Structure 1
């Protein structure tokens, strides 16, 4: 199969022919239909986050099940599926207490002495990134890393649900538990931020303020449900948000991964408000509240993949799209072939477009 391989940080992805193993007892072989380009991938490509190399990136995907292992019970051959990087074991403390997105997922990976799921023709192993490796014509994953969806769902749209939409919408529905009428500010209008805005609209937020330095993204945010927009690079951005909401927002959600964006989110809060950090900040970076913030009841939290329970959440998000509530068409800027993956990441670095999605044959 063809796959895009990362051989060294900062280097372009190379299109190679790789071998993929047969499914083990709890594994699923998927013919990849589409995969979104996520900013999280870029962090690994640039070496900001460590990763064993060579590896195949890509984690926001949808496809069709081609084969299943002997113990697989959740999907079958021919099913349309969405994959998710928060693979869960089903029996650890986090899973049994309903926090599946926090599961370490050790049982979903192959043992260190087992054959690699991916390899080069000479037999040398190729690492799976985030347990998926979706920049490839096929994926071999644990059954708890995918979920069957309505076959009427277009798979190029379904792909972005696997990360951006699950993260953004999950943050609104699961982590923030937004109450209708509450005010929301979203800092960063990439794929995750736009999905957050759209979900806030679905959840009945009273006011949704989008903060982004790119005018085109601010306009797109309005299309997806933002009631107001602010230039995130303006010196008085936080003051503008506080003024238009007469005291600040109930929820401020950072979806960029920059210290300045996190600071803006905290500064936009009202008394008792909550800032939620979604962006992948550099590992050593710290985000915090001042003593005055704490005295006024402000709260700061993180959210891994939107606190999702993806076997339940993803089919519901698919249903939202099919019923015309979730606007995935506006989130996706373009579809591209696998060979254009490096160009897609260059566009991402420029920051002037929403989601690019690789579509396979």
Structure 2
């Protein structure tokens, strides 16, 4: 099969023929119809994750089951499926409690094993991790759910528990951030979107953001005082903040933009910078802020989200900005941390 292959940390990805996968015991092989190009894939390429080379990236996917391994009970060849980017083992106490997203034995396509920037991908513990894609949801839309949209959904619904009428600040208007804007509005919240990219802020506004803040260009020093602007727009700070980028600066901006006793959800990955990134814990303590991590969403939590999509209350298809082939994906990956993309890039391996 054709796949995007990375041979070493920060090596230029190449598209070439590789051995097609076989279904592992308890798992399946899926013919990839669509897979998302995500900042997390860039983190793996850049060496921020422990992966074995040569490596095939890709963790947001949807497609059709083509092989079924021994022991799989719930799935058959021809089923249309997607999968969370965190695949639980299905046996530990966390998986049995429905929290596969924190499984200590988890598998992650594109990280712990070859991923979905390919024509086919192997997936483990299918009965625990696979999610049926309803006929009303196209596979490109389903692929966009696996990391960014599902992560944003769980971050706001299950972790921050956003309530009607609350203010939510979303720092970063890429795939996760725009997903957060859409979901927060569906929950009845008021939203402030923050980004350096005017195009991304326009996309956030189109999705219902009540206010947008263009970071980095409104003061004499060249840097926007984002927390001060958020406090002004929201009457004292947001109830909930989301860092959808994952940097020391964006994390601090999001936390400092909260009102007293607010809740912060860290979704963007925070790679070490001179050790561990600094977090404004003085503010966290003095204002009794809640700082919450959110790591994907287990397959068992998908039905509620999919129901909202089928009802039209959530429209993740609006977040898909462009579709590319494997060759273009290989060229885009090394610079994806700097890409001015307002939305989700989807890869179609058949192109």
Q: Which 4+ residue blocks in structure 1 deviate beyond 6 angstroms?
A: none
Structure 2 counterpart of 1:120: none
- Pick aligned residue for 1:202 from 152, 161, 186: 186
Do residues 150 (structure 1) and 134 (structure 2) align?
A: yes
Structure 1 counterpart of 2:308: 320
Give the match's secondary structure for 1:201: helix
Asked if structure 2 preserves the Cα contact closer than 8 Å seen for 1:344 and 1:356, the reply is: no
Gaps of 5+ in 2: 217-222
Structure 2 counterpart of 1:278: 267
State the alpha-carbon separation in 1 of the partners of residues 283 and 212 from structure 2: 27
State the alpha-carbon separation in 2 of the partners of residues 312 and 266 from structure 1: 27
State the alpha-carbon separation in 2 of the partners of residues 227 and 130 from structure 1: 40
Give the match's secondary structure for 2:144: helix
Asked if structure 1 preserves the Cα contact closer than 8 Å seen for 2:83 and 2:299, the reply is: no
Q: TM-score, normalised by structure 1?
A: 0.88
**Structure 1 pair 4–145 and aligned structure 2 pair: CA distance change class (3 A):** farther
Q: Quote the offset at 1:242 in angstroms.
A: 0.4
Do residues 237 (structure 1) and 226 (structure 2) align?
A: yes
Structure 2 counterpart of 1:129: 111
State the alpha-carbon separation in 2 of the partners of residues 301 and 57 from structure 1: 27
Structure 1 counterpart of 2:161: 177
Structure 1 counterpart of 2:177: 193
- Pick aligned residue for 1:221 from 189, 204, 222: 204
State the alpha-carbon separation in 2 of the partners of residues 147 and 286 from structure 1: 35
* 230-239 vs 270-279, which moves further: 230-239
Asked if structure 1 preserves the Cα contact closer than 8 Å seen for 2:265 and 2:292, the reply is: yes
Residues 294-350 of structure 1, C-alpha deviations (whole Å, 9 max, x = no match): 122112121111xx222332x433333332222223311100111111333366343
State the alpha-carbon separation in 2 of the partners of residues 56 and 255 from structure 1: 25
Q: Quote the offset at 1:70 in angstroms.
A: 2.5
**Structure 1 pair 239–136 and aligned structure 2 pair: CA distance change class (3 A):** same
Q: Quote the offset at 1:253 in angstroms.
A: 0.5
**Structure 1 pair 97–224 and aligned structure 2 pair: CA distance change class (3 A):** same
Q: Quote the offset at 1:128 in angstroms.
A: 5.4
Do residues 268 (structure 1) and 257 (structure 2) align?
A: yes
Give the match's secondary structure for 1:185: strand
Paired residues in the alignment total 339
* 37-46 vs 234-243, which moves further: 234-243
* 280-289 vs 41-50, which moves further: 280-289
Q: Quote the offset at 1:272 in angstroms.
A: 0.2
* 180-189 vs 321-330, which moves further: 321-330
Structure 2 counterpart of 1:40: 40
- Pick aligned residue for 2:300 from 311, 324, 328: 311
Structure 1 counterpart of 2:219: none
Structure 2 counterpart of 1:288: 279
Aligned pairs for 1:44-83 (under 5 A) are 44-83=44-83
**Structure 1 pair 253–292 and aligned structure 2 pair: CA distance change class (3 A):** closer
Asked if structure 2 preserves the Cα contact closer than 8 Å seen for 1:176 and 1:251, the reply is: yes
State the alpha-carbon separation in 1 of the partners of residues 88 and 47 from structure 2: 26
Q: Quote the offset at 1:160 in angstroms.
A: 0.7
Asked if structure 2 preserves the Cα contact closer than 8 Å seen for 1:289 and 1:300, the reply is: no
**Structure 1 pair 21–345 and aligned structure 2 pair: CA distance change class (3 A):** closer
* 189-198 vs 231-240, which moves further: 231-240
* 225-234 vs 35-44, which moves further: 225-234
State the alpha-carbon separation in 2 of the partners of residues 24 and 347 from structure 1: 33
